[in-house]
Amino acid sequence: MPTRLLEILVLFFIFPGLAAAAPKIEHWVTEKGARAYFIETHALPMVDINLVFNAASAREPADRQGLAMLTSEMLLEGSGDLDSKAIAEGFEDRGAEVGTSSHRDMAIVSLRSLSDKQYLDPVVDLLAAVISEPSFPEKNLEREKARSLQSLDHSLQQPNTVGKRLLYESLYKGHPYANHPAGTHESLKSINRDDLVAFHRQFYVASNMVIAVVGDLNLAEAKDLVKRVSAQFNKGKAAAALPDAPAIRAGEHRIGFPSTQSHVMTAYLGIKRDDPRHLALKVGNYSLGGGGFQSRMMDEIRDKRGLSYGAYSYFLPMQQTGPFIASLSTKNEQVEEAYTVSKEVIDEYLKTGPTAKELELAKKNITGGFPLTIDSNKKLVSTLSAIGFYSLPVDYLDTYIDRVNALDHKEVTQAMQSVLGSASRVTVIVGEGQ
């Protein structure tokens, strides 16, 4: 564990009232337009790098759902004269780990390497070359499409997946967030190599990229690394801003599904990631449904009534307005009671906000758990990626604890009420007899 982070843990667990300094973040913009963020740590001879692109499912056409994920999964399948085997060996032979992922907002390419230049330099150069100029081999694409279709078939056998897909379709009707990252049967079958090439050409460019680096480098070495990576990519243009999420049409949707449990998901439109109310809502939701056994939803639905093994809620803020989702599963014969109680708990909480005891508990748990969210290079680079991608303040980590501790009942309650108090909601219930 990095020494600086160990100091943070010591301060918080021995002196929980103290606010320790977070790791220092350096940031700059490369000549090609990539935004770079760096945290220097020397406890381990390792470097973690994330290349984050605004190139996820929100950027694909509605009739090509799954395109962003397929593009991401195909990045390491070939480049120039290198096939997938040669690329994999190029990283593995030097002890490096590489991976890709794609979601609704961001596509991520991750690299973990030893910091010794004889290992780091070759894998950094290989990463930049492969990701900037993938060849998307036709044979590999057909194999990947078949695998994606098989995976989709399997996921659609899960009631939670079926419900969540309908929830996003209903909440974001006509908006890019309604796209399913894993695609549909029809869209996956229609995607061809030209689609991947065009998508990559438009979105995998320097001006549409954040480079997050954490590890055993000094600032000069980090700047050199970032410059070498960025130089491999076309400058291109940053992706245009997504449209605002449309007003939702309240309603309930029920889907019959052969299962002994019914899944109930209720969603509201929440906030954007850079909304100043973000921490107040995090604190407020901890007491409502985000704090596990310390939340009202769990207490009222599971502990007092035995209607569910688990009930929870969460905000998922994104570039544009992300959802607030409350979810539970229950026996089919109890679904109406559980659903009614869930609505009552949310509505009652929004009237009064947390009690003084709930507010204190929420703040202590969030601030007390904060060091554990940045106690490894992997967690740090993930947090740094979000700070860069969503253009959060570079003092985000430094001020986090103080900002949470400064919140009072009025701020938390008003934040929850302003977002959810008069908002329309969409509910999806999936289960036998629906």
Domains of the chain by residue range: 22-231, 251-431
At 277-292, the pLDDT tens digits run: 999 999 999 999 999 9
The three state secondary structure string of 331-347 is: EHHHHHHHHHHHHHHHH
Predicted TM-score (pTM) of the model is: 0.92
Regarding predicted confidence, which is higher, 2 or 234?
234
For 401-422, how does the pLDDT look when each residue is reduced to its tens digit (9 = 90+)? 999 999 999 999 999 999 999 8
Q: 251-431: same fold as 22-231?
A: yes
Tokens 């554990």, located at residue: 372
**Which pLDDT tens digit goes with each residue over 124-155?**
999 999 999 999 999 999 999 999 999 999 99
Indicate the pLDDT class of residue 260, thresholds 50, 70 and 90. Answer: confident
What pLDDT sits at residue 10?
A: 37
Can you give the pLDDT at residue 22?
Answer: 76
pLDDT at 21: 62
CA 86, 91, 92: angle at the middle one, nearest 5? 95
From the CA atom positions of the chain, what is the Rg in Å? 23
251-431 CATH = 3.30.830.10
E-state strands within 146-229: 209-215
117 or 432: which carries more pLDDT confidence? 117
- Report the chain's mean pLDDT, rounded to a whole number: 94
The CATH class, in words, for 22-231 is alpha beta
Per cent of the chain over pLDDT 70 is 95
Average pLDDT over residues 347-371: 97
Please compute the mean of the pLDDT values over residues 24-37 and round it to a whole number. Answer: 97
DSSP conformation letters of 126-157 = HHHHHHHS----HHHHHHHHHHHHHHHHHHTT
